[in-house]
A and B are shown apart, each in its own frame.
Chain A
Amino acid sequence: MTIKPAIELRGISKSFGPVEANKDITIRVMPGTIHGIIGENGAGKSTLMSILYGFYRADSGEIFVDGKKISIPDSQAAIGVGIGMVFQHFKLVENFTVLENIVLGAESGALLSPSLNKARAELAALASEYELNVDPDSIIEDIGVGMQQRIEILKALYRKANILILDEPTGVLTPAEADQLFRILKRLREEGKTIILITHKLREIMDITDTVSVMRQGEMTATLETNETSPENLAELMVGRKVLLRVDKTPAKPKNPVLEIEDLNMFDDFGVQRLKNVNLSVRAGEILGIAGVAGNGQSELLEVLGGYQKADGTVKVKGSEIDLTTSVNGDGQARRAQGIAHVPEDRQREGLIMDFMAWENSVFGYHREKSNQANRFFMDNNAIRRETEGKMHRFDVRPPNPKLTAKNFSGGNQQKIVLAREIERDPDLLLVGQPTRGVDIGAIEFIHQQIVALRDRGKAILLISVELDEILSLSDKIAVMFDGKIMGERLPSETNEKELGLLMAGVAEQVAQ
């Protein structure tokens, strides 16, 4: 008799408006295994798990648990069939005790104390069974992040979960805490639990999973036995192999350094170090591409350089140091005045105001500059509209209507509006994040040409992209980031995807040796 999969999803699809977050996903997870789901941010991992946990309903497809077809309309139903979820952001009540948090939502009656007593006994049993020791009476806000996560796991186990989904569990953990978590997960597997681990970190997949599924842009691109694959293979599957877009460009003629970064360190609001001793330099007439799996500090680097994150270290632009200690969020305008233009990674969240018209967006960040003012008090809206029309024609924005609201343009045209704004300012340094994410092929080519043209005018460009192809075809020099560090710099002519993939996975040492 064959063993039935603990979970089987067949043909799951889910769209949000025009965005297909999950396309015809089929996956089988065998009981008593750890199954990894890997993919970049936005690949559709979390959507898939939200469907499994009853937060979203799939547009089509079937779900089987232990071979039985079921429907999961809400999370109560998911818990009912033994699915437990540990979220990336914990769902704990900070000022409750451990015990109260575990009981929350699973109280057995109107009075609290019988539930608590029952839970205390069960918690002791669980603790000894899975070696998950916690003090049931400590208050959540007094205990560490790793311990809080353990409580999330206990919460699921207390609800009789046989299948445990962990969404980016190590995102908030220190390496030591992560190791501890993995020991717990292995122990749970020994006890016959099924675990689904969602992550974008290759090493975790290699360390702990039995099987791994790779997601990319809403599709399940592969499901593999972990011991039959390698980090570089996974990196390739994750980043994907699109039709390689050749960019016509002449060899770079780099001149003086424009951007010099020395010992840049940055901690986020939670005290996690996001940039670790970053040293980089970009010269005039050169494109420096930063490769890396999303979430390894590239976004933070852009935010620091763009003027809206504090950091320590020295950053010089054309020899003059820029102020990294800004205490108020928002020195973006000072940065622009220093000749730094910035095409942010997320055009819809940062680069554009989706409810503003194209012409209003076309001066966003430069709206206080003299050229956009009619006089001391008012903006010169007519001139801005005229100017925008010209920009839209030059950058082939369709339709070239300055009065159309940003959200009514397609992704590619939105990106062109941002690019037109930043490039036409003729900056000394252009920061570009994910220039072609969610952009159609035609627009990609155009955007690449514009970036190369700016380089040929002798400007420095810092390119950040998770598309390895894009990095390889556009960059004159490539730096690879992993875990907030620069793993190494390579010339595109002297490296290949395999080497970069390994660097992106953080395994520099083996390459070097």
Chain B
Amino acid sequence: MDVMPKWVDIIVVPLFSLFLAAALSALLILAIGESPIAALNLMIEGTLFRSAGWGYMLYYTTNFIFTGLAVSVAFHAALFNIGGEGQAMIGGLGVALVCLFIPWPHWTLAIVGASIGAALFGMIWAGLPAYLQAKRGSHIVITTIMFNFIAAGVLNFFLVDVLKPAGSMDPASANFPASTHLPTFQDIAGIIGFEKAFRSAPANVSFFIALFACLATWYLIWRTPLGYEIRALGKSGPAARYAGVRPVKIIMIAMMISGALCGMMAINTTQGESERLILNFTEGAGFIGIAVALMGRSHPVGVLLAALLFGFLYQGGAELALWTKIPRELIVVIQALVILFTGALSLMVRAPLERFFISIQRARV
């Protein structure tokens, strides 16, 4: 059988795509008049060798794990959830309501409550377009992207009208009570006397919930009958119908799980970092999730690795903007190149690599 080895598909293809994106970015940096080597050094140093850098990178990574997993679950059912932004925003609303209006005695309980609130709200926000797709055939790509705008509007309304403390000029909710504040990595490291490892970094315990979500998603997709049905429907509609898998049900469930995961991103950003609900806290993480899922090939381990990479790019990009002439906008361009190469253009990379490895195999036989 002429297929390239699996490890090429899983490891070499994404790395090669990444390399191409990096090479093109290097050219861009050269054109600006900066040294690409120095820029890379700066990115690595600013992320991996500085205590705050670590903490920021993992903070971003947490977001990307949640949204990346969310997009993956939908991908398995052959659904393209572009509505991560909106689902996360509404999830944030859920977190805020839970944290503000329920008196929590301790953060351990608060994080459970907030997770449920975030997941529930995200689930509902994804469930509406899912219903429209499953029952009415409205395309999920269109509806989820429109729901992003609706979500932004809803968030605006709540922050300007409902949740804003009287007299405040800031479109944000009141600060959450201290009993809901999550321990940051600095706090955790402090317990064992290593405070220095994560100085003033926003990464917090929700990172561990993200890791747990990876594990849970893996079990869901590959070990449960539901995951089996999601994958079956995603691979072949007619076959799923033959086997008695109900498309309407599976589309709804897959999208609602996806929405719940997106919503849970808000426990990191809203409960963990800002400790109040603010505007635009998602910072595009819902869209980055698409790239993370593509690069991670919709596998939780891949998603985790890709989320780490994008966390690195986010934090490294901030460092570049801080210390070099490279404008903030170029960072976005570089990130976009990575998304482009690892996501949309990965097939472009894959085809020649596949030919290459097959020819090696043939030569060996």
Which of A's residues lie within 8 Å of B, judged by CB? 306-308, 328-336, 342, 344, 346, 349-356, 360, 364-365, 367-368, 372-373, 377-379, 381, 408
Contact = CB atoms under 8 A, between A and B. Distances in A.
B239 A368 contact: no
Contact of B225 (A336, A350, A368): A368
Give the interface centre of A328, A332, A373 by most chain B CB atoms within 10 Å.
A332
B242 interface: yes
Given A373-B225, A377-B224, A379-B225, A330 B235 contact: no
A330 B245 contact: yes
Nearest to A404: B1
Nearest to A374: B223
Contact of B242 (A344, A355, A372, A381): A344
Given A329-B246, A379-B228, 6 more contacts: A308-B244, A332-B241, A353-B236, A354-B235, A365-B242, A408-B1
A308 B242 contact: yes
Contact of A330 (B1, B219, B224, B247): B247
A334 B244 CA distance: 8
A408 B225 CA distance: 24
B239 A360 contact: no
B243 A328 contact: no
B244 A378 contact: no
Contacts of A360: 228
A333 B245 CA distance: 8
Give the interface centre of B1, B219, B242 by most chain A CB atoms within 10 Å.
B242
A330 B195 CA distance: 57
B243 A365 contact: yes
Interface string B94-109: 0000000000000000
Contacts of B347: none
Given A379-B223, A408-B1, A333 B232 contact: no
B248 interface: yes
Nearest to A332: B244
Nearest to B219: A378
Given A367-B228, A378-B223, A342 B242 contact: yes
A88 B40 CA distance: 59
A346 B241 CA distance: 13
A365 B244 CA distance: 6
Among all A-B residue pairs, the 9 with the closest Cβ atoms: A332-B244, A333-B244, A365-B243, A350-B242, A330-B246, A378-B223, A353-B235, A308-B241, A330-B244
A248 to B, nearest CB: 31
Contact of A331 (B219, B224, B244): B244
Contact of A356 (B219, B235, B241, B245): B235
Nearest to B246: A330
Contacts of A330: 240-241, 243-247
Given A308-B242, A330-B240, A364 B225 contact: no
B229 interface: yes
B1 to A, nearest CB: 6
Interface string B194-231: 00000000000000000000000001001111001101
A83 to B, nearest CB: 33
A344 B241 CA distance: 11
B228 A349 contact: no
Nearest to B248: A328
A333 B243 contact: yes
B243 A364 contact: yes
A329 B240 CA distance: 10
A335 B232 CA distance: 19
For chain B, what secondary structure do more than half of its interface residues adopt (helix, strand, loop), or is it mixed?
Answer: helix
B238 interface: yes
Contacts of B1: 408
Nearest to A349: B238
A45 to B, nearest CB: 23
A342 B241 CA distance: 12
A352 B235 CA distance: 10
A352 B246 contact: no
A353 B225 contact: no
Interface in B165-191: none
B243 A332 contact: yes
20 contacts: A306-B242, A308-B241, A308-B242, A308-B244, A328-B246, A329-B241, A329-B246, A330-B241, A330-B244, A332-B242, A332-B243, A350-B238, A351-B242, A354-B235, A354-B236, A356-B231, A364-B232, A364-B243, A365-B242, A365-B244
Interface in B223-271: 223-225, 228-229, 231-232, 235-236, 238-249
B244 A336 contact: yes
A340 B235 CA distance: 24
A351 B247 CA distance: 17
Interface in B134-181: none
Contacts of A372: 225
Contact of B235 (A346, A355, A377): A355
Contacts of B229: 367
Contacts of B219: 378
B225 A367 contact: yes
A307 to B, nearest CB: 6
A350 B239 contact: yes
A310 to B, nearest CB: 13
Nearest to A333: B244
Contacts of A379: 223-225, 228
Contacts of B235: 353-356
Contacts of A331: 244
Contacts of B243: 330, 332-333, 364-365, 367
B354 to A, nearest CB: 16
Given A330-B247, A356-B235, A378 B224 contact: yes
B19 to A, nearest CB: 28
Contacts of A353: 231-232, 235-236, 239
B253 to A, nearest CB: 14
Contacts of A307: 244
Nearest to B250: A330
Contacts of B236: 349-350, 353-354
A448 B224 CA distance: 35
Contacts of A368: 225
Nearest to B247: A329
B239 A349 contact: yes
A372 to B, nearest CB: 8
Nearest to B228: A367
